[in-house]
Amino acid sequence: MTVMAYAHAVNLSLMDALRADDRVIVLGEDVAEAGGSFKVTRGLLEAYGAARVVDTPISEATIVSAAVGAAMSGLRPVVEIMFMDFITLAMDALVNQAAKARFMFGGKTSVPMVVRTPHGGGLSAGPQHSQCLEAWFAHVPGLKVVCPSSPQDAYSLLRSAIDDQDPVIFVEHKGLYGVRGEVDTSVKVPIGQASVVRHGRALTLVTYGATVAVCLAAAKHLAEHDGIDVEVIDLRSLQPWDKATVLASVSKTHRVAIVHEAVQAFGVGAEIAACIAEEAFDELDAPVMRVGAPFMPVPFARSLEKQYAVDEAKVRAAVHRLML
């Protein structure tokens, strides 16, 4: 095991995938000579050359459309969209082409491609560079969506995504790039499997991405100051999501809140809450709660963004409401 930053884990995963399979290519804006806008692809060009690590024009629609064609022709492209906000420009290629090709061609073709993209706030980057749009893609049949919270999962889930036969949206949080942790390159993490990162019996917090650390901090405080034993589930995959692990936890704790940085309305939490209400209603001792961002664009001002963000205090407040 080696201790490394989240960004390094993604970089190492790309390096190892390029080494293991000559069908893997990396393409995007500034991914080659500049090493990516967050330096996640640094060193790939020098190691594998311009034929496999490709700087593209500034056109997300073109980049993703080219990747769809490359994937259907036998390659395994990994695209970087430097901010998730810009993925809006590639929606046709992803939603109407990549997601539907296997179905429309009767299973005779697939689109084994990955779109890596950072989401999230905390950097005072404003409303057009801070959004969490993962719920859009989780809504589309044919797309898989993952969002790792640790260096280990960043490495392992990216390898799984590159090996997958279908298109995968691989969401990275900008605020996690510097987070360090142990990485074992032999560990495999399948898409669709959640992780119980803290065991408890009083209440379940279901979360993913950067809010995993927020929930763990809140759970620690609640245990030490209020005697509330909270279980924390890191979904890791949003589509497909690990319903069995979540429902098993709910049947044990009988209280649950879903926490994410994205806008609360019509989000991932709403889908999971509805599923719990439909399939585990008799297990509940309190209503299912959601903790998410307010229904507004992400503020630019640091003071306003701090109020907008989902933080430990908001999670603790939700837990206290559920325990009444």
Q: What's the chain's length in residues?
A: 324
What's 120's DSSP letter? Answer: -
Tell me if 22 sits within 8 A of 76, measured CB to CB. Answer: no
Output b/e per residue, 229-246; b: 16+ Cβ within 10 A: ebbbbbbbbbbebbeebb
Q: Is 129 a catalytic residue?
A: yes
Q: Which helix (H) or strand (E) holds 256?
A: strand 256-263
Distance separating alpha carbons of residues 38 and 52, to the nearest angstrom = 19
What residues does 320 pair with on adjacent strands? none
Tell me if 247 sits within 8 A of 197, measured CB to CB. Answer: no
Helices 268-279, 243-253: crossing angle, 10 deg rounding: 60
Closest CA to 194 of 205, 208, 179: 208
Distance separating alpha carbons of residues 300 and 311, to the nearest angstrom = 17
Distance separating alpha carbons of residues 12 and 185, to the nearest angstrom = 9
Distance separating alpha carbons of residues 270 and 274, to the nearest angstrom = 6
Query: Which amino acids are annotated catalytic?
Result: 129
